[in-house]
Structure 1
Amino acid sequence: MDDLPLHPSAEAAIGTDEVVRDLFAAVAGAGGTAAELLDRLAPASSGAVARADLVTAASLESDRLGDVLVRPEHLVLGWARVTGSGPAHVREELQLLMADRAQARYEALRPLPRDDGARPPRAVLLAGVPGTGKSTLAEALARRLRAPVFSVDWQLGALVPFGALRLDNTMPLAETNLVASSARQLQLGLDVVVDATGHRRQLRDRLRSVTERLGGAFVGVECVCSDEEVQRRRVEGRERGIPGWHATVSWEHVLRVKSLWESWDEPHLVVDSAVETPGSALLKVVEAVGA
């Protein structure tokens, strides 16, 4: 493809010389997204890069992100591509940066006026690795509360046919979608149920923060299965029927997610599907939500 046009800020950063001597100094001085990205990467110097090679690589990165102009952040991605300096890592850091910016906007939302004495809305996060019964419990709770349930797998499945998911953006995109969906319901004063692995502490903190800023009450539920054989049979024998998404996952995937689980240090409810029936687990969660 032909090189995309340069945004004026990108053109100012690289100038017209055949060799770009210190891209990072120019980008950092311009501020904005690219400067924040460099703060995360903390590189010492970009070194000298041929201008033509940089522009071509940055154009490819811009096109990959669906933009029509080359911006300073695309120059940073292009530099990583040209120099082989971990382009995948730089791309992921940019996506994480965009997720942080989105979170700040959702936290800036304010509740809409509600009737005096109206009960605060509740956000219930059902988290756990595959096979612990979290989706079954989340859907039963949603029926009981007459509330929407936002499932990360259903949201991602809807994006697969459009080619929107990449290795660098799937996690930030999935978590931001869950926060966005929840924020609007809470802003309207409505309850919401979230069905997600929730292994990252940051997602749990972000859902709690948005809920409380919108005047709601956050309830965290960690779903576990203390019998590994039971859990494995569930995973390997299920067919979830989610359009666009996997029928199930491998046991190796379950073990990998377990290894990535970050401790949940804040008060929350733990439900063990190996020793509790679906009905008794639901009653425990309903009681916690009511409290």
Structure 2
Amino acid sequence: MTDALSETARAALDTEPLTARTLAAAVPLDLDPDVGDTPLDRTALLEAARLEALRHGRGLVLPEHLLLACVRLTGGDLAAARERLQTLTARRALADYEALRPVDPADRPTAVLVAGLPGCGKSTLAESLARRLRAPVFSMDWQLGALVPFGLLRPDNTTAVAEVQMTAAAAGQLRLGLSVVLDATGHRRETRDRWRALTENLGGVFVGVECVCTDDALLRRRVDDRARGIPGWPATVTWEHVGRMRRLWEPWTEPHLLVDSATDSPEIAVRRVLDAIPAP
């Protein structure tokens, strides 16, 4: 059982009176506890916080674990609060990569983000581009599949873990002046903007590619028939998952290339992307 508190957690736990409001004020993280003035039971709060710490693989109760415990005890949306905490954790980690600079400022590597819904052909395109560019391709599904056997992924942390892993992989190459291809859903505007900024901070050129399939019947057949062979990762997804990702997709308003796998052959798609990459 976790029996240690960080100094900041101990200070937050010792606020008087101990209520959701005073705890939220002592721990300035937006995890959405009910900030009412109902007194909190210290024993129950600490026990719930210990469980949250253990869930996150920590032997130390941190202030954020107290806030999650507060959400639990006040009947808040604990799943949403846990996901927000993972997002905040990822943003802290990502800030370190955003501060990196290129080893040689004269280098002009390229980062190609191939994004889109499952079944739209983004992995096929990304792998073909990687072979043509002689550049590594970093796939979100391959990276996450490697973590599944260790039980490290949860509903609240998968998105955050995936983004940090992809960012770290890309940053390690770009800072050396080496080009990369990123194979990811890329449905969040914040993620796309972050990878563009990372590339430009490291002296590179960012090329965004949005893969679509305007023939839904064809898209569904592709999804149903997929067998990707990624260790630790499902061979395919459900059609309902495709619909959910479509609803989550945030419009890509920045300059990028649109490839329709219902009309563009793989060879044409590769040529279009290569033509969009500025010459060295």
Q: Does residue 58 of structure 2 align to residue 67 of structure 1?
A: yes
Q: In structure 2, what is the equivalent of residue 275 of structure 1?
A: 263
1:133-212 alignment, distance < 5 Å: 133-212=121-200
- SS of corresponding position for 1:68: coil
Q: Match of 1:216, as an amino acid?
A: G
Question: Cα deviation per residue 1:122-159 (whole Å; 9 max; x = unaligned)?
Answer: 10000010111100000000000110101010011111
Write the distance in 1 (CA, Å) between the matches of 2:94 and 2:32.
20
Q: In structure 2, what is the equivalent of residue 104 of structure 1?
A: 95
Q: Match of 1:231, as an amino acid?
A: L
Contact 2:115 2:184 in 1 (8 A): yes
Deviation at 1:82, TM superposition (A): 2.0
Count residues with an aligned counterpart. Answer: 279
Q: In structure 1, what is the equivalent of residue 19 of structure 2?
A: 22
Question: Cα deviation per residue 1:38-80 (whole Å; 9 max; x = unaligned)?
Answer: 3x63853463111110010000000111111111111001111
Deviation at 1:183, TM superposition (A): 0.9
Q: In structure 2, what is the equivalent of residue 83 of structure 1?
A: 74
- SS of corresponding position for 1:41: coil
- SS of corresponding position for 2:247: helix
Question: Cα deviation per residue 1:222-255 (whole Å; 9 max; x = unaligned)?
Answer: 0111111111111101100000000111111111
Q: In structure 1, what is the equivalent of residue 6 of structure 2?
A: 7
RMSD between aligned alpha carbons? 1.8
Provide the TM-score with structure 2 as the length reference.
0.94
Contact 1:27 1:72 in 2 (8 A): no
Write the distance in 2 (CA, Å) between the matches of 1:86 and 1:226.
37
Question: Cα deviation per residue 1:2-56 (whole Å; 9 max; x = unaligned)?
Answer: 4522222212222298xx6235435634xxxx41x13x63853463111110010
Runs of 4+ in 1 over 2 A off after TM superposition: 20-29, 40-47
Q: In structure 1, what is the equivalent of residue 113 of structure 2?
A: 125
Q: In structure 1, what is the equivalent of residue 225 of structure 2?
A: 237
Deviation at 1:268, TM superposition (A): 0.5
**58, 70, 81: which is aligned to 2:49?**
58
Of 54-63 and 169-178, deviating more is 169-178
Of 4-13 and 63-72, deviating more is 4-13
Q: Match of 2:49, as an amino acid?
A: A
Q: Match of 1:201, as an amino acid?
A: R
- SS of corresponding position for 2:254: coil
Question: Cα deviation per residue 1:176-229 (whole Å; 9 max; x = unaligned)?
Answer: 211111111111110000001111111111100111111110000001111111
Write the distance in 1 (CA, Å) between the matches of 2:72 and 2:37.
12
Write the distance in 2 (CA, Å) between the matches of 1:14 and 1:41.
18
Write the distance in 2 (CA, Å) between the matches of 1:95 and 1:52.
25
Q: For structure 1, which runs of at least 5 residues remain unmatched after alignment?
A: none
Contact 2:32 2:81 in 1 (8 A): yes
**200, 212, 217: which is aligned to 2:205?**
217
Contact 1:224 1:273 in 2 (8 A): yes
Q: Does residue 273 of structure 2 align to residue 285 of structure 1?
A: yes
Deviation at 1:86, TM superposition (A): 1.2
Deviation at 1:103, TM superposition (A): 2.0
Write the distance in 2 (CA, Å) between the matches of 1:183 and 1:66.
27
**39, 50, 56: which is aligned to 1:48?**
39
Give the 3 Å change call, closer, same or farther, for CA 47–250 of structure 1 in structure 2: same
Write the distance in 1 (CA, Å) between the matches of 2:275 and 2:233.
33
